[in-house]
Amino acid sequence: MSLLRYVVYNDDMKNYNEEIANAFTEIGDLMSLLVENPFKIRAYYGAAQRIRQDFRPITKKDTEKTLMEIPRVGVALAEKMLEYMNNGKIKYLEKLRKQIPKAVRDMLKIPHLGPNRVRDLYINLGIKSKADLKKYAKTGKIAEIPGFGDKLVQQILDALKTGQQKKKQHERKDVEPIAKKLVNILKKIKGVKYVDVGGSYRRGNATVGDLDILVAGKPVANQAEKMIFKTFPNHTSLASGETKIAFVLFPQNLQVDIRFVPQESYGAALLYFTGSKNYNVMMRKVAIEKGYLLNEYGLFDAGEYIAGRTEEDVFKKLDLPIAEPQKRK
């Protein structure tokens, strides 16, 4: 009996945020493919974003009333959230899936292909699978569709070749060992002064979309790239330069963006790339009210740099209490 109570308790306390957010995102994608009501589509996308990034854990203890406290969640969406937690599926999503071939739905996972582009490929060329996509891409017919072009087609082919998929949310516990290893590699490079992981990882979120890493010190991007790729050979490079390198690690399909910034801008950049988006908007608004300009390069007064080496400097100059990253919602 005690074991049964333990199992039920853990089921009640399970965090459903990521699963529900994924379901709502898929509903939005499929509705877009079917050219459904754009206002409803935005409602699903907006709710998914809020649930995934900035809201408290959602569990079976929630009621319709408490779920409707989430911004952008009304009765219809709250009911679907309860339906998912109770049944493991949403009937409306199942209905949408039946209206679109699975192979077409799978194309939504490919980078650079959103619902509108997938719909264009499906309707204009009759592309129904990744095999069709590769075949038509090589003939040049896809590049002729408005909104595509040779560069985009090549990016799609590269993604198909490497098996790259769109960014997904990763459990923090799965990403943490990778983040620590990357930070350790970067800290060992001569000339590097500071290294921090920003984004949702630094804010302490349970799930992470990608890793944003900031590095301050002498120009070391080329050396960092060599050391990282030696440690993580299974990767695809997305960008390579003096100020940024970006790549996707496999098999995790985890995107990593590493930015190299001057020491005098490090605090402002860390503040900016930690987020959240809403928190950054608030900070910039406070700066404007005081006659300043705040961005990832620093805090400026009439074009003159006045702070930005550390986050604390920026908070102090704006007369704001220092907020821990976990509280920047």
200 compared with 54, residue with greater pLDDT:
200
pLDDT reported for residue 196:
97
Residue 325: how many CB atoms within 10 A of its CB?
A: 20
In this structure, the answer to whether residues 10 and 82 fall within a common structural domain is yes
- Give the range of the structural domain holding residue 118, as residue numbers without chain letter: 102-162
Distance separating alpha carbons of residues 62 and 86, to the nearest angstrom: 11
Residue 157 inside a domain? The answer is yes
Q: What is the pLDDT of residues 173-187, one digit of tens each?
A: 889 999 999 999 999
- Residue finishing a domain among 214, 230, 261: 261
Residue 11 has pLDDT above 70, yes or no: no
For residue 25, the 8-state DSSP code is H
CATH of the domain at 219: 3.30.460.10
Q: How far apart are CA 27 and CA 40, in angstroms?
A: 10
User: What is the rounded average pLDDT for all residues in the chain?
Assistant: 87
> For residue range 312-321, what is the model confidence (pLDDT) as tens digits?
999 999 999 9
Position 162 scores a pLDDT of 66
Question: How far apart are the C-alpha atoms of 201 and 208, rounded to whole Å?
Answer: 6
**Same domain, yes or no: 46 and 106:** no
Residue type, 327: K
295, 310: one domain: yes
The enclosing domain of 314 has a CATH number of: 3.30.210.10
Q: What is the pLDDT of residues 130-169, one digit of tens each?
A: 888 888 888 888 888 888 888 888 888 877 776 666 666 7
Paired tokens of 221: 């991007």
Question: Could you tell me the pLDDT band of residue 3, with boundaries at 50, 70 and 90?
Answer: very low
Same domain, 188 and 225: yes
Both 92 and 17 in a single domain? yes
- What is the average per-residue pLDDT within 97-109? 88
Which residue's entry shows tokens 């264009």? 120
* Same-domain pairing of 91 and 6: yes
What pTM value is reported for the model?
Answer: 0.60
Here the contacts of 179-183 (C-beta below 8 Å, separation 24 or greater) are 179/211, 179/213, 181/231, 182/211, 182/213, 182/228, 182/256, 182/258, 183/213
Do residues 69 and 93 share a domain?
A: yes
Does residue 203 lie in a domain region? Answer: yes
Instruction: Say whether both 154 and 211 belong to one domain.
Output: no
8-state DSSP, 107: G
Domain-ending residue, one of 121, 141, 162: 162
Residue 178 belongs to some domain of the structure: yes
Tell me whether residue 323 is in a domain.
yes
**With b meaning 16 or more CB within 10 Å and e meaning fewer, what string describes 98-119?**
eebeeebbebbebbebebebbb
**Domain identity same for 6 and 94:** yes
pLDDT at 31: 93
Number of domains the chain contains: 4
In angstroms, the CA 182 to CA 189 distance is 11
Query: Is 160 in contact with 134 (CB distance < 8 Å)?
Result: yes
Last residue of a domain, one of 51, 68, 98: 98
H/E/C letters for each residue in 264-315?
HHHHHHHHHHHCCHHHHHHHHHHHHHCCCEEECCEEEECCEEEECCCHHHHH
Same domain for 196 and 129, yes or no, is: no
Q: Is the dihedral of CA 10, 11, 12, 17 positive or negative?
A: positive
**Do both 81 and 114 map to the same domain?**
no
Please check whether residues 16 and 45 belong to one and the same domain. Answer: yes
The CATH number covering residue 80 comes to 1.10.150.110
Is 267 part of any domain? no
Phi, psi dihedrals of residue 125, rounded to the nearest 5°: -120, -5
CATH number at residue 134: 1.10.150.20
- The per-residue pLDDT for range 183-237, each reduced to its tens digit, is 999 999 998 999 999 999 999 888 888 899 999 988 788 899 999 999 999 888 8
Give domain status of residue 266, yes or no. no
Beta pairing, strands 207-208 & 293-295? unpaired
Query: Checking DSSP bridges between strand 254-261 and strand 211-217, what pairing results, if any?
Result: parallel
Residue 270 lies in a domain: no
Whether 268 is covered by a domain: the verdict is no
The CA–CA distances, whole Å, from 263 to 2, 23, 152, 194, 304 equal: 57, 42, 36, 8, 17
Q: What does the block give as tokens for 77?
A: 């969406």
The secondary structure of 52-104 as a DSSP string is HHTSPPP-TT--HHHHTTSTT--HHHHHHHHHHHHHSS-HHHHHHHHTS-HHH
